[in-house]
Every structure is written in structure tokens, then in C-alpha cells.
Amino acid sequence: MRVVLGVSGGIAAYKAVEVCRRLVDAGHHVVPVMTDAARRFVGAATFSALASEPVPDGLWEGGIPHTRLGQTADLVVVAPATADLLARYAAGMADDLLTATLLATRAPVVVCPAMHTEMWEHPAVEENLAILRRRGVRVVEPASGRLAGGDVGTGRMAEPRDIVACVAAWFGAPGDLQGRRVVVSAGGTREAIDPVRVITNRSSGKQGHAVAEAARDRGAEVTLVTASVLEPPPGVRVVPVESAADMEEAMRAACEHADVVVMAAAVADFRPKASAEAKIHEAPDLVLEPTPDIIAGLAARRRPGQVLVGFAAETDDAMARGRRKLDRKGVDLLVVNDVSAPGAGFDHDTNEVTILEPGGRATVVPLQSKRAVADAILDRVVARLQGESA
């Protein structure tokens, strides 16, 4: 695959050297394109030595370089993608070789944002990314960690190995979820008693995150709505939430155009009817009320052809309770998880489940890694998408 590697002017440009090397090692023909600002951080000679072609001189080097690069590219990866680069790309500007190439290509584009937390969270950056996503641009979300100047927060460019893994998942051999939009929920929600205390459950979010990662690796465009504190897998769109109400709102928006919805989150069943505005200093008499039935609401509103997967975490009579829930919720698949079984359920790296389907089909998945369980669930999802129901 012929890859144009765009490098814009941020400190994370040094990590783009490793992205370049890994892409070449994976067998791709890599053409590095650097902005003038990027050359202030890393020398063009470094990329010229590692890539398949030398770094072009710029927009005025002779001929029409941006047209040639854009037309011959199979993929364009921008790492790092600074706030400035994202803004110029979203606005359709073409004032240097990189932005001109981005506008001149019909190839898929992947951007890997890198910037300080305050910039990453700025509404202008969020809107620019939303515009680019609507145009089909893929985003490898930044990680949390140490930033330039000693700060710590979200905005650190994803690690080169993760960027290249996303490229392989999205644009390697077509996966069986290629072109599909998958929404996954994960983690245990937290319902406030007061500003200090919450009602929650033991869910870590590991199984939901594993489903999101597996769907990404099968070629899907993935949105992860998560109440977990785990680092999300790179290459998925992340929507952080806390309460059941937050998750209901986020899932309703994310699922509107989804092909597959996997409701792996452990939503708290109850919440305090009233939350105190200040810390409570004596044992309260809590009055609880049910939280929204998110999956039933999604089932009622789902569009034709959408596959809906629910989870049931049980400790006794798991299969009988699961079958009743399958009928009651109106889902296509129900993943029954006996969390009392050794090595299964909350906070473990392994799991064992039974996948129930209307019509009586039950697929038993024995104890194994949560990633393997995720793939077993997605095998049945793909079967449903292909029209197999028994």
C-alpha cells in the first residue's frame, strides 16, 4: 500500500519517525510530507533515510506535487495532527503541501491528534474533528499521559505501534465488519449520593473495551461509550460518561446510525431519588428509584437491520433469567454472564458466557480471554448481519 505520512508541527513529530519505520517494516511504500513547522522538531533527512522516498521540498518544488501525491496515495496518515492542521484541513485550506495533498486525494485519511489537554478539549477542536469525521476521516484518539512541559493529561499522540495497528485493522485485508458502524457501551455507571459518594457496581469495563477493540480490528468504525477508567483502545471514538442518565443520552445519539449496538455496560439498576448538594455527615436514609432501561429504549427506536446485543450479569439461575430477559428486552443476542463462576465476570481478564438468540439457539463460550469472548460475540453478530438467525 502506498502511504503518504503527513507530519505537522508538534513535539510529537519525533514519534512520527517510529510510525514511518513501522509502516515501512509492514511492507508499505511510505512517502513523508512535512510541514515547515514539523521541520523545526525533526529533520527531513531522518524521514528521507527511513521512508521509501525522500521528503518533497514543498508545494513549489516543480510540477504539481500535491496532485501526484494525492492521486497515487492508497492512504494518508497524519501523525501528529496538531490543532492548527485539523483546523486548516476542516476549513478546506491548502496553503502548504500537506493540506493541499489532503484536499487533492480521494484515498482514506487517518489523523492522529496531538496537543495539550486544554486544546484537545476546546470546542473549536471538537467541532473540527466532528466535521472531519462526517467527511469520513478516521481518528486515532490521543492517549492520556505526560505532555510537553511536564503537564499530564489527555492529548498525547497514540503510540506508533497502536497507530500502525489501527491502519492494519482498518485498511489491511477487509474484515467482516468493514464499513460497519459499531457502538459499544462499557463500564459500571455511578449514581451520586452526594458530591463524595456514589452507588455503583463491580464492573471494570474490560469486556466492553475488548468488544470495541475486536470490532475495530474487524474493520468497523467504533464508538465506545464508557463509564470505565480504563485506557480505551486506540482507533475508536470515545464518549466518556458517568451516570445512567449520561449513558442513555450518549447511547441514543451514538446509535442513531449504527449497524451494531453492543450494550456491555453494567448500568446501575437504582439511583438515589435525590442527590445531596453537600457531603452528608450522618448515615442517610436513601430512597432509591430505577434508572432508565437503556437497552429497551434502544430496541424500541432501532432502525431496520440494526443488530442489538444485550448483556445479563447474573449469580443464580443465570440461563432462566437470561432467556426471560432476551424475550423482554427485544434484543437479537443476549450474552449471559454468570459472574459467580471462577475466573469470570467483573474485573477478571478472562470470562465465560452463553450467547442466547431468539428461536432457542445458545452458543456456549468457555473460559478464555475477554478478547476471545469478544470475538465469539462478534461472530454471532456478523451471522445476524448476514441474515443467519439460527
Q: Which residues are catalytic?
A: 201
> Which ranges of the chain would DSSP assign to H, the alpha helix?
13-25, 44-50, 65-72, 83-90, 97-104, 117-120, 123-134, 160-171, 206-217, 244-254, 294-301, 318-329, 370-385
CA distance 93 to 116: 23
Strand partners, 183: 223, 261
CA distance 124 to 290: 37
Instruction: Identify the three-state secondary structure at position 264.
Output: coil
> Among residues 331, 337, 336, which one has the least CA distance to residue 307?
331
CA distance 373 to 182: 17
CA distance 221 to 204: 23
Answer yes or no: are the C-beta atoms of 211 and 226 closer than 8 Å.
no
Residues in Cβ contact with 105 at an 8 Å cutoff, skipping those fewer than 6 apart: 4, 69, 70, 71, 73, 76
CA distance 138 to 233: 14
CA distance 17 to 47: 7
Buried-exposed string 65-85: b where 16+ CB fall within 10 A, e elsewhere: bbeebbeebebbbbbbbbbeb
Rounded to 10°, the helix 83-90/97-104 angle is 40
Residues in Cβ contact with 91 at an 8 Å cutoff, skipping those fewer than 6 apart: none
Residues in Cβ contact with 249 at an 8 Å cutoff, skipping those fewer than 6 apart: none
* Secondary structure tally for the chain: helices H, strands E: 13, 19
Residue type, 342: P
CA distance 39 to 36: 5
